[in-house]
Amino acid sequence: MVRVASETLNSRVPEGPVDQIWDKHRFNMKLVNPANKRKFSVIVVGTGLAGGSAAASLAELGYEVKSFCFQDSPRRAHSIAAQGGINAAKNYPNDGDSIWRLFYDTVKGGDYRAREANVYRLAQVSNTIIDQCVAQGVPFAREYGGTLANRSFGGAQVSRTFYSRGQTGQQLLLGAYQAMMRQVQLGKVQMYARREMLELIVVEGVARGIIVRNLVTGQLETHTADAVVMCTGGYGNVYYLSTNAKGCNVTAAWRCHKQGAYFANPCYTQIHPTCIPVSGDYQSKLTLMSESLRNDGRVWVPKNAGDSRTPAEIPDEDRDYYLERRYPSFGNLVPRDVASRAAKERCDAGFGVGDTNLAVYLDFRDAIKRDGEDAIRKKYGNLFHMYHKITAEDPYKVPMRIFPAVHYTMGGLWVDYHLMSNLPGLFVLGEANFSDHGANRLGASALMQGLSDGYFVLPYTIGDHLATSQLPTVPEDHPACVAALQSAKGRIDQLLSVQGTRTVDSFHRNLGQIMWDNCGMARDKAGLESAVGQIQELREQFWKNVRVLGNGESFNQSLEKAGRVADFLEFGELLAKDALHREESCGGHFREEHQTDEGEAKRNDEAFNYVAAWEYHGVGEESTLHKEPLSFDNVPPATRSYK
Amino acid sequence: MSSELINLTLRVWRQSGPDSPGQFDNYQLNGVSTHMSFLEMLDVLNEQLIESGQESVAFDHDCREGICGTCSLMINGQAHGPDTATTTCQLHMRRFNDGDTVTIEPWRATAFPIVKDLVVDRSAFDRIISSGGYVSVNTGNAPDGNAIPVAGSQQEVAMDAAACIGCGACVAACKNASAMLFVSAKVSQLAILPQGQQERSERVVSMVSQMDDEGFGSCTNTSECEAACPAEISVSNIARLNREYLRASLCGRD
């Protein structure tokens, strides 16, 4: 039985009409006097779109910022790999878009499990993000006349996605990175690269600092500040194979959780429909082929199971364009969760293609015939090149083979309307928080959210916290700092002292398999219960038998990985338990027990119309469930239909 | 595509720290699937090393899809290996033959000191960007996106330059360890776009000065950098950088 807290969570969403509350609230929040801002210091962990934009914007306002990343340079955060684009409600194409429509599409796309007020603010701010990025020199695609170009993405019937070829994330991230490096030059941001956050320092219930490990020297460092901002991305690598970078991890967020921050909706994971399929046991990661390809590519499988002809030999009448068949109005541009499940359904039914029969075709034949190879190369050249490199097949000539893969995680640390966690002073931005995408994120919305949080939300809300809190100086020898340092050190010593026989990666692969088999695209009670048991057993094995060589006082990549996998082994259990408790299907969370006759997700709004935020009580202990009830006053919940 | 298994001899540079001497160690690696990426092959090596009680080979990598610029490696003397327009993480073992000896080294440049084994310190690139590789516009200051029109063709040239992933292959491939291709890519992007005009002269002078201070060598126009660049940054950007620098020097700062 799940232990449920008696009081519901206070999201601090102000009263009033949804389209006015952000403006009004910006007036109501307390300000920090310009001359006083330099007296406040802020720690920002992570330098992706959220972290980079937050660090730059806070420093521009005058705060003293310390920025941290585990990569060798802040420019390498995984936002850089986002391909397709960023949404905004500019309505430049004159096709009927508006802030309201972006808001509506996002709430609906999230299967009515997001907080309306946050989503509306996101849609409102979206246009300003484009302006800001253009001003920074981000080379967005342009029409011949020089105006900004748009393309379409899943879950929307308007073209609202701005892009830079297939490298939109790279260009937006470099924009934020450059803005931040300018502040480094001005002395307002101190940059600490190759640092991994290992503990959160909490003083009298308020987040006041972090412990990091210098990954080059192995030294543990204590950093204190007036507020801590977590921009540490998602936890997709709990599945081992995902489209995330190898270094992406849950450690920073999990450390916050263990210090009292609630973790919300961990079971909402996004499986992206168009990735290059797994080819062998040695596989270390999966590569995404951007959703934008579904603008021109058509998804199909042979109508006859086991059809061994090459794709070119299969005539149209023997092809099943199953997305166009099942969803005539959205066709190949249905949202990700729907497209992924449809691919799984076809493969499970025996229609999959390729060596493993776990793939479907994404075919550009018709688009190339219509627009010419050059036009397609101009739009997707780098993606086609990457596909060719990895598979040794030329997608201009043969259709791509694709299969769904773990890509993004909608769940994350719980935050209120200020993006502050239940731990005062701890702010959480971007993919690391849970707030805006509900149970499924629409394509081209992650970049929008990361930049919205960092450029245009946090700079206002953090001021209110700093202006209204008593924040006495925390010296580095404060008992809370010493305890956090000891805890981080203890864990490293523990990892090094096991001296077992199995490598860290072998445990990680094992965990990933458990998660994918039982908490993947489709879940059921028995599978989830078994997953919980298997994870507990694996965790026990890990602490008895992991082999981490070398020492803690040097550059030691095995040790880095071991710490991350140890946290995934705790976190995975929470993910499975959250999925087990949510007896409904919504967005990326598909419980096989809860589906319509046509195999679509079936929500249970009576019982589960809430955010599930979990409070930690110890490894293996049952967490307490805190509910934040959701209300949909502007976008009335309906069964999502893309037919 | 069916996979083959090949056997390789790896000569890997091992160096325990920045000031320690380094040496090549040889490892025999059998049964490597030709479908593996180069880094997956190194993962397999590392698993075997750990299992036999030896410390794994340190190498930098992250996104493994050719965009983050973290991976590096001189492979048989070529930055990012034998394929053009390809990062090491996108290089696949089908490019190698059974029985090959593969020599793997870190980037070698004074401005990129070795951290450990194949890992180097490229923070000099960050300091170069810091010195002027941006448009000085604070958050909130921007006019409407379409108020700054950029001709489609101009945008394409800027994007070609902006595609630099900051990996450092240009420096590693250059006999002088010059960083001109890296610097010229950012200078070009911002010199072409209207947004970059206000700081155009100051930017190029500061960035070149920082580049020199970091200890990178001079450019002697051998174009090795272009040949090695996984993002296909053209040496025409270096020509533009030279023009920009000359212009700034003659006309003075803005």
Domain B5-116 is found in CATH 3.20.20.70: no
Which positions in chain B touch A171 (Cβ < 8 Å)?
A: 159, 162
Question: What confidence score (pLDDT) does residue A279 get?
Answer: 86
Q: State the ipTM, two decimals.
A: 0.98
> Is A136 within 8 Å of B122 when comparing Cβ atoms?
no
Query: A552-589, pLDDT tens digit by residue?
Result: 999 999 999 999 999 999 999 999 999 999 999 999 99
Of B37, B119, B193, the CB nearest to A555: B119
Measured CA to CA in angstroms, residue B229 lies from A453, A626, B77, B78 at distances of 34, 52, 14, 11
With beta carbons under 8 A apart, name residues in chain B contacting A245.
62-64, 68
Domain-wise residue ranges, chain B: 5-116, 123-251
B134 → closest Cβ in A182, A288, A555: A182
* pLDDT tens-place string over residues A262-309: 999 999 999 999 999 998 889 999 999 988 899 999 999 999 998 999
Query: CB–CB of B126 and A181 under 8 A?
Result: yes
Per-residue pLDDT tens for A581-627? 999 999 999 999 999 998 889 999 999 999 999 999 999 899 999 99
CB contact under 8 A, A146 and B152: yes
pLDDT of residue B209: 98
Contacts of A165 in chain B (CB under 8 A): 159, 163
The stretch A374-382 carries a mean pLDDT of 88
Show the DSSP H helices in B112-235 as ranges.
123-130, 152-162, 169-173, 180-192, 200-213, 224-228
Q: At CA A201, angle to CA A200 and CA A205, rounded to 5?
A: 110
The label of the residue with tokens 């509350």 reads A21
Q: Which of B29, B40, B63, B71 to mutate to test the interface with A (most CBs of A within 10 A)?
A: B63
B48 lies within 8 A of chain A by CB: no
pLDDT band at B161 (very low <50, low <70, confident <90, very high): very high
Q: Which of A75, A196, A70, A78 is nearest to A450 (CA)?
A: A78
What is the 3 state secondary structure string of A240-303?
A: CCCCCCCCCCCHHHHHHHHCCCCEECCCCEEEEEEECCCCCCCCCCCCECCHHHHHCCEEEEEC
Least confident of A62-66, A149-153, A515-519, B18-22: A149-153
Helix (H, G, I), strand (E, B) or coil at A176: helix
In the prediction, which pLDDT does A154 show?
A: 81
Could you tell me which residues are beta bridge partners of residue B27?
B10
Write out chain A residues lying below 8 Å of B191, CB-based: none
Tell me: the pLDDT tens digits for A423-451? Answer: 999 999 999 999 999 999 999 999 999 99
Average pLDDT over residues B166-174: 98
Class of residue A189 by CB neighbours under 10 A (exposed 0-12, middle 13-18, buried 19+): buried
pLDDT of residue A369: 96
Contacts of B151 in chain A (CB under 8 A): 142, 144-146
Instruction: Provide φ and ψ at A464, rounded to 5°.
Output: -60, -40
What is the fold, at CATH topology level, of the domain defined by A272-407? Flavocytochrome C3; Chain A, domain 1 (3.90.700)
DSSP-based three-state secondary structure for A401: strand
Contact B63 A288 (CB under 8 A): no
Instruction: Evaluate whether the domain defined by A479-610 bears CATH number 1.10.357.10.
Output: no
Indicate which residue of A336, A346, A441, A582 is catalytic: A336
Annotated active-site residue A165? The verdict is: no
Closest CB from A139, A185, A506 relative to B131: A185
What's the pLDDT tens digit per position in B12-56? 999 999 999 999 999 999 999 999 999 999 999 999 999 999 999
Whether residues B90 and A389 touch (CB distance < 8 A) is answered with yes
Q: Which CATH number fits domain B123-251: 3.90.660.10, 3.30.450.370, 2.120.10.30, 1.10.1060.10?
A: 1.10.1060.10
Closest residue, chain A, to B125 (C-alpha):
A73
pLDDT at residue A166 is higher than 90: no
Lowest-pLDDT choice from A98-102, A334-338, B58-62, B113-117:
A334-338
Q: Say yes or no: B155 contacts chain A, CB-CB below 8 A.
A: yes
C-alpha distances out from residue A552 to A45, A334, A549, A562, A608, Å: 22, 48, 9, 12, 45
| pLDDT of A321 strictly over 80 | yes
Judge: B139–A455 Cβ closer than 8 Å, yes or no.
yes
Find residue A230's DSSP bridge partners: A45, A428
Cβ of B33 within 8 Å of Cβ of A280? The answer is yes
- Please state the domain extents for chain A: 272-407, 479-610
Look over chain A and give the mean of its residue pLDDT values, rounded to a whole number.
96
For residues A509-525, average pLDDT: 97
Which of chain B's residues have a Cβ under 8 Å away from the Cβ of A280? 3, 33, 35-36
Segment A231-236 mean pLDDT: 98
CB contact under 8 A, A179 and B145: no
**Is B125 at the interface with chain A, CB within 8 A?**
yes
Tell me phi and psi for residue A254, to 5 degrees: -65, -35
What is the distance between the alpha carbons of residues A58 and A64, in angstroms, rounded to a whole number?
Answer: 8
pTM of the model: 0.97
Structural Rg of chain A based on CA atoms: 24
Residue type for position B31: G
Residues of chain B in contact with residue A58, where contact means CB-CB under 8 angstroms, are none
Q: Which of B6, B45, B68 to mutate to test the interface with A (most CBs of A within 10 A)?
A: B68
- CB-nearest partner of A505 from B47, B150, B152: B47
Nearest-by-Cβ selection for A81 from B65, B142, B152 = B65
Report whether A616 contacts A258 (CB < 8 A): yes
**Does position A378 have pLDDT exceeding 90, yes or no?**
no
CB atoms A53 and B149 under 8 Å: no
Interchain contact B140–A (C-beta under 8 A):
yes
* B47, closest residue in chain A (CA to CA): A503
Which residue stretches of A473-556 are H helix? 479-498, 504-519, 525-545
Q: H or E element: which one contains A117?
A: helix A116-136
Q: For A245, name the nearest residue in chain B, comparing CA atoms only.
A: B63
Percent of chain A with pLDDT over 70: 100
| Closest alpha carbon within chain A to B132 | A182
Which residues face A271 on adjacent strands? A406
Contact B65 A505 (CB under 8 A): no
Chain B residues closer than 8 Å to A192 by CB: none
Sort B11 into a burial class: Cβ within 10 Å, 0-12 / 13-18 / 19+. Answer: middle
pLDDT at residue B2 above 90? no
| Residue pairs spanning A and B at CB distance below 8 A | 227
- Interchain pair B35, A280: CB under 8 A: yes
